[in-house]
With several copies, the nearest count.
Chain A
Amino acid sequence: MSRFLRLLRGHPAAEQIVPRAGFTAWLTGLTAFAMAALAVCALAATFAAGRLADRWSSELARSSTVQVLAPAEEVDRQVTAALAALRTTPGIVSARALDMAEQEALLAPWIGTGLPLDALPVPRLIVIEETVEGPDAAALALRLTAEAPGAQYDDHTRWRRPMIAAADRLRLISGAALALILFATAAMVTLASRAALAANARVITTLRLVGAEDRFIAGAFTRRFTLRALIGAGLGAAGAALAFLFVPDVGAEGAFVTGLAPQGQEWLALAGVPLIAAITAYIATARAAKRALNTIEEA
């Protein structure tokens, strides 16, 4: 790391002596810029997908119900049977029958208050807390039919579960994109610096002819590419981050879906993007320079 920092300070003579490397240096900067911007997008997508999946998962945890509708003399037995069945079903964390007061509160918007619920043949509700995966709906329905014919499984999570799957998938894909971006950046910087070094083979042999050490030659190239990558990636990441800042937020309601913009300390992760780009560039260039110095022959 100290070597990395020393490098950024540079060697005054080497800098003037090695040619400006023109297009390849620009190419590195631009690559770093574009890749950093894309990395920030992918990172933000990963974070957002992760947040979505987390939030929806926790919402799922208490979402489904079983209604038991049976003749008054049967209903208590069936509720007990259904509870027993539910509690031994894999994918269900807990099951609990609502008492009359709770059920009344639940129905109030629909049928108003003041109804003699206990006198009416109103179905009884069992609230279930499921695991994230949830139970096998078809198997559960079959089992309930056998043990409590009046019980009906109502999977409120049905439409949310695929959303979690989708969020997970989005997280997976944006994670893969992130890995691709990192790998591609490393490969591109390697190739760009190799191209620069190969194009400068004569410069290298000439410098050797007049007694320049490896460190001197490699340093000049490495520094240039690392700086380009750092600056390019810094601008790219900042640009993309700014774009996220200025997209208006979803507002309070958005709490449910969560915004696309990074939140809290996720912003810190974005700041890591240019740093990682610079370190990647440093390692890639240093290796390319070492290779070039070993390959390019004396003349």
Chain B
Amino acid sequence: MIEFSGTRFSYGQDTILSDLNLSITPGSFHFLTGPSGAGKTTFLKLCYMALTPTGGGLTVFGKEAAMLTRDDIARFRRKIGVMHQNCQFLDHLSVEDNIALPLRVQDKFTESRATDLADLMDWVGLSHRAAALPPELSGGERQRAALARAVMISPDVIIADEPTGNLDWDMAQRVLTLLVELNRMGKAVLIATHDLNIIRSVKGQVNARVLRLKSGQLQLAGSDL
């Protein structure tokens, strides 16, 4: 669904990514690691078209990314669940409304979806905070809410940036179980993280590939994990 072929990206003069080749197919599970500042977030932004490659090819759902208009991108985003590193929310809407937001902007929020929403909130342990405003959440709660929003539309691809950075071990496991479950249903999952323990704990459950970003290049991580 997302095809990198010789893709390059630079912010002005700073080349962050060079000559990337990767194919994200339905049902695949990828981890993306690399030191802070390596370009993990940048890579994910290319995937969800927040950034456009400065060279090489990138096709998303069969279309060349550079050719897409803003509204095309908006429509493709409805098939991609994104959990942003900064967990962006609308601070004037309740947590619940924020999680339902992807449906609301499509005018697709229905009764049956409301039960899904309640189940989801329960799973990520936010039922008791459903009516709170995002600024009233703790750091970890915010991350869970962001993940819940990303999976709410049951997208074809789930992209999560450091989903467990502020979570304790138990809650992190819970969240990963959800992602593994979705992956088994055929969704592609792409997670950027610096926490190798998280990667190890998932490797037993699904056939995950671990990619490492180093000096702008994508490497397949060895069996040392």
Contact = CB atoms under 8 A, between A and B. Distances in A.
Q: Is any CB of A less than 8 Å from a CB of B in the complex?
A: yes
A297 to B, nearest CB: 8
A216 B105 contact: yes
Given A210-B105, A213-B71, A20 B77 contact: no
Interface in A207-259: 207-216
B135 A299 contact: yes
A293 B104 contact: no
Interface in A274-296: 293
Contacts of B71: 213-215
Interface in B1-51: 45, 48-51
Q: Is the interface of A mostly helix, strand, loop or mixed?
A: helix
Nearest to A17: B104
B77 A209 contact: yes
B50 A211 contact: no
A175 to B, nearest CB: 42
Given A202-B88, A293-B70, A211 B93 contact: no
Contact of A211 (B45, B84, B89, B102): B102
A211 B105 contact: yes
Contacts of A203: 90
A156 B34 CA distance: 97
A207 to B, nearest CB: 6
Interface in B69-85: 70-71, 73-78, 82, 84
Interface in B58-107: 70-71, 73-78, 82, 84, 86, 88-93, 101-102, 104-107
B105 A206 contact: no
A272 interface: no
B78 A211 contact: yes
Contacts of A216: 105
A84 B89 CA distance: 90
Nearest to A294: B70
Given A298-B50, A298-B51, A299-B50, A211 B106 contact: yes
Given A19-B92, A211-B78, A298-B51, A13 B105 contact: yes
A293 B89 CA distance: 18
A210 B50 contact: no
A205 interface: yes
Interface residues of B, number: 32
B100 to A, nearest CB: 10
Given A211-B102, A299-B135, A17 B90 contact: yes
B149 interface: yes
Nearest to A200: B90
A4 to B, nearest CB: 21
Contacts of B102: 210-211
B92 A208 contact: no
A212 B70 CA distance: 10
Contact of A17 (B70, B74, B93): B93
Contacts of B51: 298
A258 to B, nearest CB: 53
Nearest to B106: A211
Contacts of B78: 211
Interface of B: 45, 48-51, 70-71, 73-78, 82, 84, 86, 88-93, 101-102, 104-107, 109, 135, 149, 153
Given A210-B105, A211-B76, 17 more contacts: A13-B104, A13-B105, A17-B90, A19-B90, A206-B101, A208-B74, A209-B48, A209-B50, A210-B77, A210-B101, A211-B102, A211-B105, A213-B75, A298-B45, A298-B51, A299-B50, A299-B84
Interface of A: 13-14, 16-17, 19-20, 202-203, 205-216, 293, 298-299
26 contacts: A17-B90, A17-B105, A205-B88, A206-B101, A207-B90, A207-B105, A208-B74, A209-B48, A209-B50, A209-B77, A209-B88, A210-B101, A210-B105, A211-B74, A211-B75, A211-B78, A211-B153, A212-B105, A213-B71, A213-B105, A298-B49, A298-B51, A299-B84, A299-B86, A299-B88, A299-B135
